[in-house]
């Protein structure tokens, strides 16, 4: 049940600079309301910054592109008035009876005047506080309301924005800031839910209330199971605010909420409702809640801060978060992508850095769902308050009371989220003494949670609880005064986090690399792929760094000014670390540089997390990487870019942070197994194989019957190679951890290594090695959502069934973070059940030719929209895409399972295309046709043909190129002299038939709109007339007829009428941009001989996608659309126009119109070119006897 009467006002806003609006707020909301986006008013982005609105309306350049930010005037230079803006919208709200309505603002930066229907309210200052206005007496009786908000920037300018408003209807009593807390006893078997809520009575009489709390949990099939329902009577005095605490609700063995990688993220829905005697339902509130207990203390062994969830220690592996978008163009969809990316990396904590913001409930909602613990800082950061050179203001912020007011409100807003783990006063700084003291006091732990954090104490000693924990401001989470205090870094506030530069991978494993137990910030490089650079910078930003060799034999990278501006971190550290990109050879261009950067990114971040995990609990309790992402197109430390494309470092982290993981200690060369789960691993085996660049297996060994204790990292054995005599300069190491009973792969880890003192330059020519691959894919489609399941096999060597290497039974993780050791068949069933109502195509096989044996190295999938007129620098990627793995390598004969999921943008359908590249690219074709158009000019003998015309263009824009005055078009002089929009253009209704009527086309309209529902054979022939020319044929001026839709889906399970076969039209890849359109009139009538008919149907039953690519491994492209052979139902609601029947009477009996009409405007794709043999094979359709067309025929 949704919240009562709530409506978000986040669309339909207008904005205007205050100095350009001459009206008052009263006038704007009474007599002179803006009518639309007319000067000075523009469409506004809400929520979002003023700058976001200016960018949307192209009034300032995109500050994230290149150096454009430098061309935008700063508020310090322009003055506050320049960025003081009006925001205006309308909304419908008609009250009945004794309803009340509040106008709520999540946050406004920094202060505002609110005008509603001519009434003014002034909101107090503060960017991190909520505002609620009772507008019951202001809304219009007819329900139509005018709202204007004048937003002022900070008195001392800052850079945080206004957010959208929200209206809430309720009866006399309103529910305010409920607090939910759970307490646990008997080893988490007996659990209590404590609920306290505020109630506000806005009426003038005592409100006799029935206060209800309902707790439900969702079960399979979308049904809800009621866990608790309790009703209490509460009297609220007139105009009063009260707090009411329910008697505790008891649960036995509820499903617990766990962090990512430790178990399911079980959530219950808690709904609180209030009914007022005489008025009925008054207000409603609901929230997802997870039963979990978080404890934290300083670990006695490591000195680092230790976290426990539900009694289990959590080894923290996560990163630092700034905010999703610097202009606060935030949406649930973007938040979901951001947080799922963190879950995909196997992270379990996000730190909301103090220089950012108190994140929004939408952010926390997805952290609850995906199991990310959140470290939330308040708005103190050492580089602004009290630290730095010179020392900044130690007493900041300026208004201490306002800061505390915002802090209290933030706690109330976020405290019910199970993902919220701790509060921290500031980044690398503590708040001023009075603020810090107040936060410590107001965020003190309830005695139950305080005792539970102290070892040796029993919670049973304080049961029953002396006071209800839900009556505290929080009471359940610790407050730490700063990010480098009390178990973080050195614990005393010294600058002891970092480092933030490139490192040798083996350094992360050495004991002297970092000496404290919990590092809140350690960072490194973050170069994205080349496509992102081209998409976010002009060509002058595509220049790669200069590599300047120094006298000490180190190299200094000198980036171009644009990269410098975007905070590029070099891949060298002169005097300490040699350039890691040059280990692979000098890059030749942007693509080569970014590819080598991805190799380094993968190795760097995998080593960072593996190094920390190698000393889990013995030296470290956790690490947070600086940083996970950038809120703009920055190049400093990131795992995915602002456009949501992952770097290879993303997958290095994903590998290293697996709950169960096999790894190589790069300092000791010991193979280690990491078990962060709560269960002991028994009866497992490690398979070790080493490979040279020629595909030879240099070393193979299996270590069986291993047992790995829970929450431990165990060294298993030391690698002999490369200490042996059989050395190669560069080699590959593949480690696999198996579950012996079913050969399920628990962990897989692939390394490329060189001998001490060497480098990776031998990998440079290896990229061109032609290693054959076979990809078997299956696509599941549900609306715009696509899931692709691919088995990728290196076929350069046949599998040897005697080796574990080829027993590839992948154990997948459910979204809840648990391991599923079921068979692949069970996994398939689960996916199909998950996509119930979706559509799965048949298995598709794509093969990449190659004759060489070897490792298929560093394979990368990406998904693109296919464009025929692709321009350099144009970004064709479909983003975001979630991959189960990427940037991976396959040993000879090895197979891997890779899953992709993504949303297909409107107007894009699956299509495969070949293109020179080093990656595996899955292409999607946009839903358009490139047309060849023939123009016939009346009363002349001029016939002109255009090829490769984008159907989104207007006919006017195409023909105008032919009607420009020149010495060669004197025959068209009269046409050139006429205004283009006065020309009359026609196309036959039926391409065949001399008496066919003509449609009159709109020369200004797009081609697609004109032609998408017409019968076109070969290509359209358009007749051009002058305004003075008479028309000696029937002209139809009505709109183009609506497309005919089949009202019943076709299924191959139903028999087709005799002589009729349905199939989807097939588009072939061709070097030319011309469309290939089936010519039905140049085929032969099918023989009545049954043998020939049988052969024909066998051809149709052959998968259309069984093709072989003609390029090497680095030119592989995968296909993902379905191919169907569908029959027609006898009761299908389909009808031909009579004129069409007359024109094609010799074909109708034999042919289904779907063979040449594109009802949906969608075409299936295929991989690689299909060799054209003769007319029958070219058409793959029903042969008909040869017959010439009247017009539109392309000469052979």
Active-site residue 428, yes or no?
Answer: yes
Catalytic one among 163, 171, 377, 521? 521
* Range in 390-399, 468-477, 568-577 the model is least confident about: 390-399
Q: Residue 158: which pLDDT band, with cuts at 50, 70 and 90?
A: very low
DSSP assignment, residue 706?
E
Residue 890 lies in a domain: yes
Catalytic one among 171, 377, 428, 672? 428
Residue 435 pLDDT greater than 80, yes or no: yes
What are the two backbone dihedrals, phi and then psi, of residue 1108, each rounded to the nearest 5 degrees?
Answer: -120, 130
- For 542-555, write each residue's pLDDT tens digit: 999 999 999 999 99
Q: What is the mean pLDDT of residues 1016-1027?
A: 86
* Range in 337-351, 496-510, 955-969, 1174-1188 the model is least confident about: 1174-1188
Q: Residue 876: which pLDDT band, with cuts at 50, 70 and 90?
A: confident
CB-hemisphere CA count at 13 Å for 574? 12
- Do both 511 and 653 map to the same domain? yes
Mean pLDDT of the chain: 80
* Range in 115-119, 774-778, 952-956, 997-1001 the model is least confident about: 952-956
Residue 479 lies in a domain: yes
> Tell me, what's the pLDDT at 240?
94
Residue 826 pLDDT greater than 70, yes or no: no
* Range in 8-12, 1019-1023, 1134-1138 the model is least confident about: 1134-1138
- Do both 60 and 158 map to the same domain? yes
Active-site residue 778, yes or no?
Answer: no
- Do both 381 and 433 map to the same domain? yes
DSSP per residue, 945-1002: EEEEEETTSBHHHHHGGGSS--TT-GGGHHHHHS-GGG-EEEEESSSS-TT--EEEE-
- For 27-47, write each residue's pLDDT tens digit: 999 999 998 898 999 999 998
Name 287's bridge partners.
270
- Give the domain range for residue 440: 327-494
> Tell me, what's the pLDDT at 1140?
41
> Tell me, what's the pLDDT at 1006?
81
- Do both 648 and 673 map to the same domain? no
Gyration radius from the chain CA atoms: 34
DSSP per residue, 780-828: EEETTEEEEEEEEEETTS---TTSGGG--EEPEEPTTS-EE---HHHHH
Instruction: Report helix, strand or coil for 843.
Output: coil
With 0-12 / 13-18 / 19 or more C-beta atoms within 10 angstroms meaning exposed / middle / buried, residue 624 is buried
- Do both 919 and 807 map to the same domain? yes
Of 657, 676, 695, the last residue of a domain is: 657
Cα diameter, the chain? 103
Q: Which range, 58-62, 862-866, 1187-1191, is most confident?
A: 58-62
- Do both 760 and 780 map to the same domain? no
> Tell me, what's the pLDDT at 913?
35
Q: Residue 921: which pLDDT band, with cuts at 50, 70 and 90?
A: low
> Tell me, what's the pLDDT at 798?
74
Look up residue 780 and give its two tokens. Answer: 């599941």
Q: Residue 278: which pLDDT band, with cuts at 50, 70 and 90?
A: confident
> Tell me, what's the pLDDT at 76?
76
Of 993, 1020, 1036, the last residue of a domain is: 1036
| Residue, of 817 and 366, whose pLDDT is higher | 366
Residue 525 pLDDT greater than 90, yes or no: yes
- Do both 130 and 60 map to the same domain? yes
| Residue, of 476 and 924, whose pLDDT is higher | 476
Residue 322 lies in a domain: no
> Tell me, what's the pLDDT at 1175?
36
Of 494, 517, 534, the last residue of a domain is: 494
Q: What DSSP element (H or E) covers 373?
A: strand 373-377
Alpha carbon of residue 1044 to chain centroid: 36
What CATH number does the domain containing 644 carry?
Answer: 3.20.20.80
Q: What is the mean pLDDT of residues 1060-1086?
A: 36
Q: What is the mean pLDDT of residues 757-780?
A: 90
Q: Residue 768: which pLDDT band, with cuts at 50, 70 and 90?
A: confident
CB 562 within 8 A of CB 541: yes
Alpha carbon of residue 1130 to chain centroid: 44
Residue 714 pLDDT greater than 50, yes or no: yes
DSSP per residue, 273-298: EEEETTTEEEEEEEEEE-B--EEEEE
CB 777 within 8 A of CB 789: yes
Q: Which range, 166-170, 814-818, 832-836, is most confident?
A: 166-170
Residue 343 lies in a domain: yes
Residue 1156 pLDDT greater than 50, yes or no: no
- Do both 181 and 213 map to the same domain? yes
Residue 1191 lies in a domain: no
- For 186-217, write each residue's pLDDT tens digit: 999 999 999 999 999 988 899 999 999 999 99
* Range in 75-79, 159-163, 892-896, 1128-1132 the model is least confident about: 1128-1132
What are the two backbone dihedrals, phi and then psi, of residue 692, each rounded to the nearest 5 degrees?
Answer: -95, 180
* Range in 267-276, 673-682, 1130-1139, 1152-1161 the model is least confident about: 1152-1161
- Do both 900 and 943 map to the same domain? no
Residue 397 lies in a domain: yes
CB 81 within 8 A of CB 16: no
With 0-12 / 13-18 / 19 or more C-beta atoms within 10 angstroms meaning exposed / middle / buried, residue 979 is exposed
Instruction: Give Cα separations from 421 to 246, 293, 368 (angstroms).
Output: 25, 10, 11
DSSP per residue, 712-730: EEEEEEE--TTSSS---SE
Residue 288 pLDDT greater than 90, yes or no: yes
> Tell me, what's the pLDDT at 463?
55
Q: Measured between alpha carbons, how far is 326 from 344 in angstroms, rounded to an integer?
A: 23
- Do both 224 and 158 map to the same domain? no
Please report, rounded to a whole number, the percentage of residues in the chain having pLDDT higher than 70.
75
- Do both 529 and 612 map to the same domain? yes
Q: Residue 1011: which pLDDT band, with cuts at 50, 70 and 90?
A: confident
Name 714's bridge partners.
673
- For 612-667, write each residue's pLDDT tens digit: 999 999 999 999 999 999 999 999 999 999 999 999 999 999 999 999 999 999 99
Residue 301 lies in a domain: no
Residue 160 pLDDT greater than 50, yes or no: no
Q: Residue 936: which pLDDT band, with cuts at 50, 70 and 90?
A: very high
Q: Measured between alpha carbons, how far is 601 from 529 in angstroms, rounded to an integer?
A: 11
DSSP per residue, 612-624: HHHTBTTTBSEEE
Q: Measured between alpha carbons, how far is 222 from 214 in angstroms, rounded to an integer?
A: 17
Q: Residue 669: which pLDDT band, with cuts at 50, 70 and 90?
A: very high
Name 787's bridge partners.
780, 901
| Residue, of 436 and 1085, whose pLDDT is higher | 436
Residue 121 lies in a domain: yes
* Residues whose CB is less than 8 angstroms from the CB of residue 1085 and which lie 6 or more positions away in sequence, other chains included: 1150, 1183, 1184, 1185
DSSP assignment, residue 939?
T
Q: Where are the beta strands (DSSP E) in 219-348?
A: 224-236, 241-245, 249-252, 268-276, 280-289, 294-298, 305-309, 312-314, 316-321
Nearest CA to 521 out of 435, 639, 427, 643 is that of 427
Residue 78 pLDDT greater than 80, yes or no: yes
What CATH number does the domain containing 82 carry?
Answer: 2.60.120.260
- Do both 872 and 780 map to the same domain? yes
Instruction: Report helix, strand or coil for 236.
Output: strand
What are the two backbone dihedrals, phi and then psi, of residue 165, each rounded to the nearest 5 degrees?
Answer: -90, 170
Q: What total of structural domains would you count in the chain?
A: 7
Q: What is the mean pLDDT of residues 903-916?
A: 59
């Amino acid at each position: 049940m949704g919240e009562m009467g709530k409506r978000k006002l986040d669309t339909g806003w207008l904005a205007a600079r205050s100095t350009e609006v001459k009206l008052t707020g009263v006038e704007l909301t009474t007599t002179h309301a803006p009518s639309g986006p007319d000067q000075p008013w523009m469409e506004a982005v809400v929520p979002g910054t003023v700058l976001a609105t200016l960018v949307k309306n192209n009034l300032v350049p995109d500050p994230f592109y290149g150096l454009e930010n430098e061309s935008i005037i700063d508020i310090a230079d322009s003055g506050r008035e320049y960025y003081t803006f009006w925001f205006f919208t309308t909304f419908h709200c008609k009250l009945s009876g004794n309803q009340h309505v509040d106008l709520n603002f999540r946050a406004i930066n920094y202060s505002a005047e609110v005008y509603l229907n001519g009434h003014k309210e002034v909101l107090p200052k503060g960017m991190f506080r909520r505002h609620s206005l009772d507008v019951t007496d202001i809304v219009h009786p007819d329900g139509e309301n005018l709202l204007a908000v004048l937003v002022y920037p900070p008195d001392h300018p800052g850079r945080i924005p206004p957010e959208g408003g929200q209206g809430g209807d309720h009866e006399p009593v309103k529910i305010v800031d409920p607090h939910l807390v759970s307490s646990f006893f008997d080893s988490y078997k007996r659990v209590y839910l404590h609920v306290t809520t505020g109630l506000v009575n806005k009426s003038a009489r005592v409100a006799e209330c029935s206060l209800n709390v309902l707790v439900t949990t969702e079960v399979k099939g979308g049904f809800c199971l009621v866990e608790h329902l309790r009703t209490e009577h509460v009297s609220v005095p007139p105009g009063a605010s009260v707090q009411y605490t329910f008697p505790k609700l008891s649960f036995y063995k509820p499903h617990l909420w766990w962090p990512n990688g430790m178990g399911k993220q079980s959530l219950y829905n808690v709904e609180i409702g209030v009914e007022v005697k005489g008025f009925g339902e008054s207000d409603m509130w609901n929230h997802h809640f997870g039963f979990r207990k978080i404890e934290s203390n300083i670990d006695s062994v490591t000195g680092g801060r230790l976290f426990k969830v539900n009694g289990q220690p959590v080894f923290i592996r996560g990163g630092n978060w700034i905010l999703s978008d610097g202009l606060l163009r935030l949406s649930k969809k973007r938040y979901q992508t951001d947080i799922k990316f963190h879950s995909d990396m196997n992270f379990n904590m996000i730190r909301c850095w103090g220089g950012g913001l108190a994140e929004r409930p939408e952010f926390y909602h997805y952290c609850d769902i995906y199991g990310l613990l959140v470290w939330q800082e308040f708005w103190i950061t050492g580089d602004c308050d009290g630290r730095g050179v010179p020392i900044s203001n130690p007493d900041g912020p300026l208004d201490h009371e306002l800061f505390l007011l915002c802090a209290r409100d933030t706690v109330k807003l976020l405290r019910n989220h199970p993902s919220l783990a701790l509060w921290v006063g500031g980044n690398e700084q503590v708040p001023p003494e009075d603020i810090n003291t107040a936060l410590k006091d107001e965020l003190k732990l309830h005695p139950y949670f305080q005792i539970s954090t102290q070892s040796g104490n029993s919670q049973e000693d304080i049961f029953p609880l002396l006071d209800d924990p839900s009556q505290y401001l929080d009471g359940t989470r610790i407050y730490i005064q700063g990010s480098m205090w009390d178990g973080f870094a050195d614990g005393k506030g010294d600058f002891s986090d970092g480092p933030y530069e490139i490192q040798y991978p083996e350094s992360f494993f050495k004991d002297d690399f970092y000496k404290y137990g919990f590092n809140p910030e350690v960072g490194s490089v973050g170069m994205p792929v080349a496509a992102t650079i081209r998409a976010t910078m002009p060509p002058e930003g595509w220049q790669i760094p200069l590599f300047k060799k120094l006298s000490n034999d180190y190299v200094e990278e000198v980036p171009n000014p644009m990269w410098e501006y975007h905070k590029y971190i070099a891949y060298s550290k002169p005097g300490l670390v040699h350039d890691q990109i040059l280990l692979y050879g000098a890059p030749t261009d942007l693509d080569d540089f970014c590819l080598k950067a991805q190799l380094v990114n993968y190795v760097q971040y995998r080593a960072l997390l593996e190094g920390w995990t190698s000393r889990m609990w013995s030296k470290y309790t956790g690490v947070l990487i600086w940083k996970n992402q950038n809120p703009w197109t920055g190049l400093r430390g990131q795992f995915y870019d602002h456009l949501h494309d992952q770097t290879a470092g993303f997958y290095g982290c994903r590998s290293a942070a697996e709950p169960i993981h096999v790894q190589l200690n790069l300092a000791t060369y010991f193979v280690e197994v990491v078990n962060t789960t709560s269960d002991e691993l028994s009866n497992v085996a490690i398979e070790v194989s080493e490979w040279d660049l020629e595909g030879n297996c240099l070393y193979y060994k299996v270590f069986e019957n291993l047992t790995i204790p829970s929450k431990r990292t165990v060294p298993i054995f030391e690698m002999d190679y490369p200490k042996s005599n059989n050395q190669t300069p560069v080699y590959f190491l593949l480690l696999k951890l198996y579950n012996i009973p079913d050969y399920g792969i628990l962990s897989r880890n692939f390394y490329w290594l060189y001998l001490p003192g060497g480098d990776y330059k031998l990998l440079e020519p290896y990229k061109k090695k032609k290693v054959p691959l076979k990809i078997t894919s299956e696509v599941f489609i549900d609306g715009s959502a696509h899931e692709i399941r691919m088995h990728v096999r290196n076929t350069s060597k046949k599998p040897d069934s005697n080796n574990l290497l080829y027993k590839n039974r992948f154990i997948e993780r459910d979204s809840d973070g648990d391991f599923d050791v079921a068979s692949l068949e069970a996994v398939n069933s689960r996916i199909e059940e998950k996509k119930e109502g979706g559509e799965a195509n048949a298995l598709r096989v794509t093969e990449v030719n190659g004759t060489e044996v070897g490792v298929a190295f560093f394979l990368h999938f990406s998904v693109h929209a296919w464009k025929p007129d692709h321009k350099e620098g144009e970004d064709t990627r479909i983003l975001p895409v979630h991959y189960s793995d990427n940037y991976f390598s396959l040993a000879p004969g090895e197979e891997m399972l890779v899953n992709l999921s993504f949303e297909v943008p409107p107007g894009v359908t699956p299509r495969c295309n070949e293109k020179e590249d080093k990656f595996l690219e899955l292409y999607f074709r946009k839903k358009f046709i490139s047309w060849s158009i023939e123009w016939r000019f009346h009363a002349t003998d001029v016939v002109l043909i255009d090829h490769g015309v984008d159907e989104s263009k207007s006919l006017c824009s195409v023909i105008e190129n032919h009607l420009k005055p020149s010495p060669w078009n004197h025959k068209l002089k009269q046409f050139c002299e006429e205004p283009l929009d006065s020309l009359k253009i026609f196309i036959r209704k039926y391409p065949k038939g001399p008496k066919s009527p003509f449609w009159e086309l709109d020369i200004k309209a797009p081609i697609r709109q004109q032609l998408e529902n017409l019968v076109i054979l070969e290509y359209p022939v358009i007749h051009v007339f002058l305004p003075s020319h008479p028309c000696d044929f029937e002209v139809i001026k009505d709109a183009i007829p609506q497309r005919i839709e089949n009202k019943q889906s076709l299924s191959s399970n139903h028999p087709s009428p005799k002589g009729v076969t349905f199939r989807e039209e097939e588009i072939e890849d061709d070097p030319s941009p011309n469309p290939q359109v089936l010519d039905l009139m140049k085929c032969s009538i099918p023989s009545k001989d049954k043998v020939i008919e049988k052969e024909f149907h066998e051809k149709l039953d052959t998968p259309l996608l069984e093709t072989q690519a003609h390029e090497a491994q680095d030119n592989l492209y995968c296909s993902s659309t379905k191919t169907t052979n569908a029959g027609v139902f006898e009761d299908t609601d389909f009808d031909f126009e009579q004129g069409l029947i007359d024109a094609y009477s010799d074909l109708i009996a034999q042919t289904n119109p779907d063979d040449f009409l594109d009802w949906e405007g969608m075409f299936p794709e295929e991989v690689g070119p299909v060799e054209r043999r003769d007319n029958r094979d070219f058409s793959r359709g029903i042969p008909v006897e040869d017959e010439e067309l009247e017009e539109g025929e392309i000469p052979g």
